[in-house]
Amino acid sequence: MTATPAIPSLDALGRALEYPGADLAARWEACRAALTPAHPAAARRVADALDRLAVSSTEEFEEIYARAFDLSPACAPYVTVHLFGEESFKRGELMARLRERYAAVGFASGAELPDHVATLLRYAARAEREEAGELAQYCLMTPLARMADALGAENPYGFLLRAAEETLREEFSERDPAPLPIEQMRLHGGASGCGEIAAPASACATACGVMVDASNPKPDLR
């Protein structure tokens, strides 16, 4: 892992998606600037969000943030909710491994839970490319797309989420977004011994340092 982000655009997106404060406009403008050279379409989405920010106060954006992420289950900012469901034991196991991984490489995750989209984007910006690509493919692209769809254009955070999804797709164009494990489980009637179900969960978990037996989706925490 590098102390300086290897992919500055992902670091900027992560910081833009953190809780709003007095520096929100500066963070969003820095994000737009970081995206412009390689990801102009995503930069335009951030510019659209900045237009909304220009006519709102910090307090108003705190309410907008809460409506987007705290009051809407479809937009929970924690990727394990989208991958496994809110009540799944896999959430806690994956978050525990993320904490271990962050500590092992000296990544300062901040005050948010380790599976917060902002935290994962900042981590992916600094990780080795293979690990960052797996995180993008199995943990971020599909959840970000679903969240952006749910928010639409009514909430400026929808623009940021879509910008993050598009940036990941462009940065890792060789990778296709993986299906959500929870949806595969539903498709197969909740069967836990299906290798087809375990495969994407395994890859997602491996990206975060968790080994999963292909015949049993429960992580093996060795």
Structural domains of the chain, with CATH: 8-220 (1.10.3480.10)
Q: How many CA atoms lie within 13 A of 163 on its CB side?
A: 35
pTM recorded for the entire structure: 0.86
- Counted residue by residue, the chain has a size of 222
- Alpha-helical segments (H) within 2-155: 8-16, 24-35, 40-53, 58-65, 79-84, 89-105, 117-126, 129-134, 141-151
Q: Let me know if 65 is exposed, middle or buried by CB neighbors in 10 A (0-12, 13-18, 19+).
A: buried
Beta carbons of 182 and 91 less than 8 angstroms apart: no
Cα three-residue angle 71-61-23, rounded to 5 degrees: 130
Strand partners, 213: 216
Burial of 217 (0-12, 13-18, 19+ CB in 10 A): buried
From first to last of the 222 residues of the chain, give the pLDDT tens digit: 777 899 999 999 999 999 999 999 999 999 999 999 999 999 999 999 999 999 999 899 999 999 999 988 889 999 999 999 998 899 999 999 999 999 999 999 999 999 999 999 999 999 999 999 999 999 999 999 999 999 988 899 999 999 999 999 999 999 999 999 988 877 766 544 333 334 444 445 554 444 333 333 443 333
